[in-house]
Amino acid sequence: MLLGLSAVATLLASLVFAYFMLMFHNSEWPLDGIRRPAVGTPAIGLALLVASTVPVLLAGRAIGAGRQRELRLWLATAAVLGVVILGMQARGYAGLGFAHDVNAYTSLFVTLSAFHTINLVIALILNFATQARAWLGHFSAEYHEGVRLAALFWYWAVVCGIVLFATLFLGPLLDPAVQ
Amino acid sequence: MSRRAGTLLACAGALGALAACGDGSALSPKGPSARDIAGLWWLMFWLGLAVYVFVVALLLVVLRRRGKAQEPVAATPGEGRALIWGAGVGMTTVVIVALVLVSYSVGGRIYDRRGTSGLQVEVIGYKFWWEVRYLGRSDAITANEIHIPTGRPVDLILTSRDVIHSFWVPELAGKLDLVPGVRHALRIQADRPGEFRGQCAEYCGVQHANMLLLVVAQPPDDFDAWLDRQGQPRQQPTDPLTQRGEEVFVRTPCGACHRVRGTTATADVGPDLTHFASRRTLGAGVRPNTRGHLGGWISDPQAIKPGNLMPPTKLAPDELLALLAYMESLT
Amino acid sequence: MTTTEDTRPSVQTADLDRAWATPPGFIGWLSNVNHKAIGFRFIVTAFIFLLIGGLQAALIRTQLIGPEQGFLGPDAYNQAFTLHGTTMMFLFAVPMIEGLAMYLVPMMIGSRDLPFPRLNAFGYWLYLFGGIFLYWSLFTGSVPDGGWFNYPPLSGPQFRPDTSIDFWLLGVTMTEIVGIVGALELVVCIARHRAPGMSLNRIPVFVWGVLVTSLMILFAFPPLVAGGLLLELDRKIGTHFYNPMAGGDPILWQHLFWIFGHPEVYIMLIPAVGMLATMVPAFTRRGIVGYPLVVVSLVAIGFISFGLWVHHMFAAGLPALAMAFFTAASMAIAIPSGVQVFALIATLWRGKLVWSTPLLYIVGFVLVFVLGGITGVMVASVAFDWQVHDTFFVVAHFHYVLIGGVVLPILGGLHYWFPKMTGRMLDERLGKIAFWLIFGGMNLTFFPQHILGFLGMPRRVYTFQSGLGWDFYNLVSTLGTYVTVAGFLVYTANMAINWSRGRPAGDNPWDAPGLEWATSSPAPAYNFAAGPTVSSLYPLWEPEGAAPRGQPGLLDELQGHRREIVGTTVLDAEAIEILELPGNSLWPLIAALAIVLFLFAVMIDSIVLGGIGLGAIVGSLACWLWTGSERTHE
Ligand code: HEA
Ligand code: HEA
Ligand code: CUA
Ligand SMILES: [Cu+2]
């Protein structure tokens, strides 16, 4: 699983590489007079995302100690957070004011954001599957691979979110033209 | 036997390398850049040959040895260390450090020659032909043939209007890509008058193979005269036949793609034809510029250079004759 | 051969046969997940692709036999070299290596199977469908023709609006996924399922090579997947990543491609060299000399190879300083490569040679690969590369390293392990004839191409004019190709004839030291009835009875009536657990079909079909997991 994630992480790294390469390739960034994206709301989303690691962590702890109810509770908390973040992202897309096919900047913005959203959705699906199995009582203190894997992917989605936040919202500040 | 094999190898290699020195070759340099690189090559060649001969000779000696029969055993630790460290690590390191240094110094020398040279020529790649513009002489536009004065550096500004191409004239300099949206500078210089063949070196589609060009180095005076001429509008047609020809050119689709300065044909989809008759080749080097080939090209360019972007044009025989006469008058 | 002697009464071979049996019939064949069955399918399929790619090479060379030939038109020629390069790199070399690894690694390290058998089967089906997908383009008339590195803008929506490039992108992406999946599996197998006692210093070099290669794949393939994704988005939904008119940059693709493309060449080379080092003791009667150095330098090649990619872009106009770094890095890789070569020579020197056909391939490797490596070091020099980049000099360089460093070892390896796979020996005389034809033919083909490069002949030209001094060398080159083709015909015939009619091989026809020779030929589905233990790098050369038991306690608990394998620790290979593997299943096949359906929908822009495909992927994966999950490691 870790090995698999490292392959996905390389995929992410490649996309980030693409972003910065095109940023430095152009003398203006964002292109065509598009304004730099506002950091505010995404930053709140990011904070929530980082915060969501706590319930995921606690869920793992709980099942490690055999506490089934707590496991379900924490998983559900994480899921609620995840759904809220997704909602915020959806609103963000709606208010973007540009589509992917305007220029290279918008293409990058939309594609990289979508990459994060997809990862978050997969993390949520795994979370729901784990919740279902938790209700069915599949896990025990000794055997809870499933919880661990879902948690691992969740963490990955968080890392991905942090990296992409830094790229999309802070990255443009690195552009020499900004100074 | 191993010595003989080694000598044989050396001879074969040297012969092969010498064979590569014929005219038109990167190893018969006609300018400083190409000369530097050829020098680099010969150094690398002898070093490489020495390494190769060493490996082959060693191998032959080893293979001819008769080891004694023995029970199969694991290698003893440390065995063969001298060979592996000495040759594998030691010799290799020495050779590559030498090569890296020489390579840097040659590369650096070629870079150092950059800077403003006075004469700048813009070369723009199109699918399967080259547009050539003399900067500062906004009217001097031609195609597929670059004239340069001898003994003087010329900076080529390379860019592309469609896909990536690569500019390469082996006798003068190494190659550099023509990338759309970017301008690259390549300096060339020819020591003596001559015609140097070049060819697009980055795969650019169907007719990549026939995207050729010619660099013509001339004594400075001849060059100036040539450049002046290229800057002029077309030769005014004087006799009825060429006048008719110009009319055909402007009226038929030709004028929709080509420019002939001084007429109403100003399009830039295809090569500028203002002084077409002064060029040595047609179709970016696929054919020599003769009347027969030109007639064939105009009637059916797709038969000569399948997939190029000029469509065939249906003309009545007398129209074609007039057009040909006109084209030949565009000196 | 004490290591495998069946001393423990608890293991019943009859039980094992039942537990590891494949259901009869075609459906049973489809559902087979055993590593040898899957590995064998990989090998056979990849070999067929080698022949197809070679056939295309013969077409290419026939067109170039002389100036102004009309054998292939420009379109057909461009398609031919695109398919040739793509087939050889994506459908032959990597799958062949992975197939050999899947077949041999579990046997070499004393395991009964790979840890995720169904993932393995999934990989095979996706590979097969990826290949068919790519070649399907031949029937639609829009055949990919962007070359094997497919540079935009030429491959972008502006210049290639038809589906040809989509066939290429999606087909190649499938094989990339296969590569990643196979790599995951091989890494886990090598890390966690070695026979008790097979500590790091007792792992056969081939297995080391596979490990290094697999780790490289995990980091090298995703950049191309990313690059391909961006290109496909450009083509399908109008993004502008590579479009210079809207702020994109075609050079981005070149970086992403070569960050993959350069490691790719060592991904093929490293296990191939490992294969040689594993074979050579059988023919020198002596272990490989300098084993630790060989292993360390394989790892070093793996690392350094990620820092070389720009050497494919020296003519793209990048900053001088950056290029200087890549010159030094590229040349530095000659050091670990030199270690490999001289370790092989030292082994030949210390041993007593047995002149069987595989030894010829080993010697052939040295002669051919070293020449290609030296020209590689030459083109690593920026200034020199400005002249020869994209000419036939480079074509000569990479065929020398590819054929010398990858094809010859694979052909030698197939010759060597053929008895293990089929239980029959190949004919030595035919084998030697084939070797000499291929070896001679390839030199005749590619040596003259160096000269053509200097004479100004760029690569990827479908024709050339006479009078440039190119005619003679092209003619020789083409004749050389015909000799090579004859060699491949003999080689293939040798296999075809002796597949069922060859001399029976016995367990260990070469008196080789590796564990794979400790079981019968061909091996039973479970490889070893009792789990073998290992006490040296050359278990079968140990004097009788010298092999101590690792942890007999745990091994004795291996059951016969379930598919079980042993899990061992990463460093010292101490047995710590017994894992149960899932059995045959059709879901891998169905999941692969679902992916193909989805990608096909992407290609023809059908949202409905795409939805069905996506649903089918999710559904089949769910069923796959439901029908008994594999016991995964982290
Ligand atoms: C198996 C595949 C393989 C291998 C092993 C190599 C090995 C090497 N390659 Fe090659 N290469 C390719 C496959 C491979 N290559 C392909 C497919 C392309 C073309 C892609 C395309 O454009 O389509 C290419 C292109 C390519 C280029 C780009 C050329 C261009 O497009 O202009 C360069 C430039 O640096 C390069 C360099 C090297 C170097 C330095 C090595 C080194 O690793 C070689 C090291 C080995 C040795 C040197 C021999 C053994 C050492 C000794 C015996 C010690 C003594 C030696 C010395 C002192 C020198 N290669
Ligand atoms: C492992 C990789 C590999 C291998 C083994 C080969 C093998 C060969 N290659 Fe290829 N080649 C590449 C990888 C490889 N190549 C790549 C990556 C490119 C770059 C493509 C690009 O530019 O995009 C290339 C490009 C390339 C070119 C340059 C084309 C151009 O730029 O215009 C040429 C030209 O001579 C060539 C020739 C050959 C020849 C003659 C062989 C011979 O060794 C082949 C020997 C013959 C056989 C292996 C099979 C024999 C056939 C039969 C026995 C018949 C079978 C019958 C049936 C199928 C029914 N190759
Ligand atoms: Cu232009 Cu190739
Ligand atoms: Cu490389």
Closest CA to C37 of C496, C433, C527: C527
Cβ A110 vs Cβ C246: under 8 Å: no
Name the least confident of A171-175, C91-95, C210-214.
A171-175
Q: Chain C contacts of A126, Cβ < 8 Å?
A: none
Task: Give the model's confidence band at B200: pLDDT under 50 very low, under 70 low, under 90 confident, else very high.
Answer: very high
Instruction: Evaluate if residue C108 carries a pLDDT over 70.
Output: yes
Ligand nearest to the CA of C265: 1
Distance CA B245, CA B256 (A): 15
Q: Does C277 touch chain B (CB under 8 A)?
A: no
B173 and C386 in contact by Cβ < 8 A? yes
Instruction: Evaluate if residue A111 carries a pLDDT over 70.
Output: yes
Closest CB to A25 among C225, C249, C633: C249
Question: How far from C234 is each of A104, C229, C608, CA to CA, in Å?
Answer: 10, 9, 21
Distance CA B217, CA B239 (A): 34
Give the contacts of C629 (CB within 8 A, at least 6 positions apart): C582
Token pair 């006075």 is at which residue? B118
Residue B269 and residue B209 share a domain = no
Q: Does A133 touch chain C (CB under 8 A)?
A: no
B271: tokens are 């090569």
How many helices and strands, by DSSP H and E, does chain C display? 21, 2
Residue B137 and residue B107 share a domain = no
pLDDT tens-digit map of B28-49: 999 999 999 999 999 999 999 9
Residue B253: which domain range? 240-329
The domains of chain C are located at: 13-518, 587-627
Task: Give the model's confidence band at C602: pLDDT under 50 very low, under 70 low, under 90 confident, else very high.
Answer: confident
Residue B105 and residue B11 share a domain = yes
A14 and C222 in contact by Cβ < 8 A? yes
Give the contacts of B40 (CB within 8 A, at least 6 positions apart): B102, B103, B106, C381, C383, C384
Distance CA C446, CA C28 (A): 46
The percentage of chain C sitting over the pLDDT mark of 90, rounded to a whole number, equals 67
Distance CA B307, CA C73 (A): 10
Ligand nearest to the CA of C379: 1
pLDDT tens-digit map of B222-267: 999 999 999 999 989 989 999 999 999 998 889 999 999 999 999 9
Nearest C-alpha to atom 47 of ligand 2 is from which residue? C54
pLDDT at B114: 64
Task: Give the model's confidence band at A171: pLDDT under 50 very low, under 70 low, under 90 confident, else very high.
Answer: confident
Instruction: Evaluate if residue B21 carries a pLDDT over 80.
Output: no
Phi, psi of B147 (to 5 degrees): -100, 140
Query: Sign of the CA dihedral B120, B124, B125, B130?
Result: negative
Residues 257-276 in C contacting B (C-alpha not used; CB under 8 Å):
none
Cβ B173 vs Cβ B188: under 8 Å: yes
Question: How far from C180 is each of C44, C326, C464, C593, CA to CA, in Å?
Answer: 20, 27, 41, 18
Instruction: Evaluate if residue C119 carries a pLDDT over 60.
Output: yes
Does domain C13-518 bear CATH number 1.20.210.10? yes
A/C interface, count of CB pairs below 8 Å? 97
DSSP per residue, C266-297: HHHHHHHHHHHHHHHHHHHTBPPTTHHHHHHH
Cβ C288 vs Cβ C204: under 8 Å: no
Residue B264 and residue B172 share a domain = no
Q: Region of A97 please: left (phi>0), alpha (psi -120 to 50) or beta.
A: left
Residue B229 in any domain: the answer is no
Which atom of ligand 2 has the smallest separation from the CA of C403? 5
DSSP per residue, B250-318: HHSTHHHH-B-BTBS-B--SS---TTGGG-SEETTTTEE--HHHHHHHHH-HHHHSTT-SPPP----HH
Which among A12, A19, A22 is the top mutation candidate for probing chain C, defined by the most C β-carbons within 10 Å of its own β-carbon? A22
Q: Does B197 touch chain C (CB under 8 A)?
A: yes
pLDDT at C547: 47
pLDDT at A142: 82
Summary mean pLDDT of chain B = 90
Q: What's the average model confidence in pLDDT over C87-109? A: 95
Residue B132 in any domain: the answer is yes
- 3-state SS assignment for residue B143: strand
Name the least confident of B214-218, C55-59, C281-285.
C281-285
Task: Give the model's confidence band at B1: pLDDT under 50 very low, under 70 low, under 90 confident, else very high.
Answer: very low
A145 and C632 in contact by Cβ < 8 A? yes
Residue B91 per-residue DSSP state: I
What does R_g of chain C's alpha carbons equal in angstroms?
A: 25
Task: Give the model's confidence band at C168: pLDDT under 50 very low, under 70 low, under 90 confident, else very high.
Answer: very high
pLDDT at C7: 45
Looking at chain C, which residue has its C-alpha nearest residue A19? C241
- 3-state SS assignment for residue A97: coil
Query: Sign of the CA dihedral A96, A97, A100, A102?
Result: negative
B208 and C460 in contact by Cβ < 8 A? yes
Nearest C-alpha to atom 54 of ligand 1 is from which residue? C338
Residue A37 per-residue DSSP state: P
Residue B152 and residue B51 share a domain = no
C223 and A10 in contact by Cβ < 8 A? yes
Q: Does B75 touch chain C (CB under 8 A)?
A: yes
Task: Give the model's confidence band at C544: pLDDT under 50 very low, under 70 low, under 90 confident, else very high.
Answer: low
Higher pLDDT, C455 or B66: C455
**Ligand 1: does its nearest atom lie under 6 Å from the Cβ of C64?**
no
What does R_g of chain B's alpha carbons equal in angstroms?
A: 27
Distance CA C128, CA A163 (A): 36
pLDDT at B3: 53
Instruction: Evaluate if residue A98 carries a pLDDT over 70.
Output: yes
Q: What's the average model confidence in pLDDT over B287-316? A: 94
Residue B69 in any domain: the answer is no
Residue B235 in any domain: the answer is no
B176 forms bridges with which residues in the sheet?
B167
Whether ipTM tops 0.90, in short, is: yes
Looking at chain C, which residue has its C-alpha nearest residue A146? C632
Higher pLDDT, A82 or C630: A82
Summary mean pLDDT of chain C = 90
Q: How many domains does chain B fold into?
A: 3
pLDDT at C631: 46
Ligand nearest to the CA of C213: 1
Residue B107 and residue B21 share a domain = yes
Residues 96-115 in B contacting C (C-alpha not used; CB under 8 Å):
96, 99-100, 102-104, 106-107, 110-111
pLDDT tens-digit map of C202-255: 999 999 999 999 999 999 999 999 999 999 999 999 999 999 999 999 999 999
Residue B98 and residue B132 share a domain = no
Residue B75 in any domain: the answer is no
Q: What's the average model confidence in pLDDT over A50-59? A: 94
C256 and A3 in contact by Cβ < 8 A? no
Distance CA B308, CA B126 (A): 11
Nearest C-alpha to atom 1 of ligand 3 is from which residue? B165
Q: Does A103 touch chain C (CB under 8 A)?
A: yes
Question: How far from C429 is each of C26, C51, C357, C426, C436, CA to CA, in Å?
Answer: 37, 22, 9, 9, 11
Residue B193 and residue B210 share a domain = yes
Phi, psi of B146 (to 5 degrees): -110, 120
Distance CA C258, CA C263 (A): 8
- 3-state SS assignment for residue B206: coil
Q: Does B93 touch chain C (CB under 8 A)?
A: yes
Token pair 């020209």 is at which residue? C375
Residue B184 and residue B94 share a domain = no
Give the contacts of C181 (CB within 8 A, at least 6 positions apart): C119, C120, C122, C123, C126
Task: Give the model's confidence band at C633: pLDDT under 50 very low, under 70 low, under 90 confident, else very high.
Answer: very low
Residue B154 per-residue DSSP state: E
CA within 13 Å, CB half, B205 = 23
Who surrounds ion ligand 4 at CB < 5 A?
A: C 262
C255 and A21 in contact by Cβ < 8 A? yes
Task: Give the model's confidence band at B92: pLDDT under 50 very low, under 70 low, under 90 confident, else very high.
Answer: very high
Nearest C-alpha to atom 20 of ligand 2 is from which residue? C85
Which among C71, C86, C154 is the top mutation candidate for probing chain B, defined by the most B β-carbons within 10 Å of its own β-carbon? C154
Q: What's the average model confidence in pLDDT over C519-531? A: 85
The percentage of chain B sitting over the pLDDT mark of 90, rounded to a whole number, equals 75
Q: Does C341 touch chain B (CB under 8 A)?
A: yes
Q: Does C546 touch chain B (CB under 8 A)?
A: no
Question: How far from C128 is each of A39, B69, C34, C49, C90, CA to CA, in Å?
Answer: 47, 47, 17, 10, 12
Chain C: partners with 3+ C-beta pairs within 8 Å: A, B
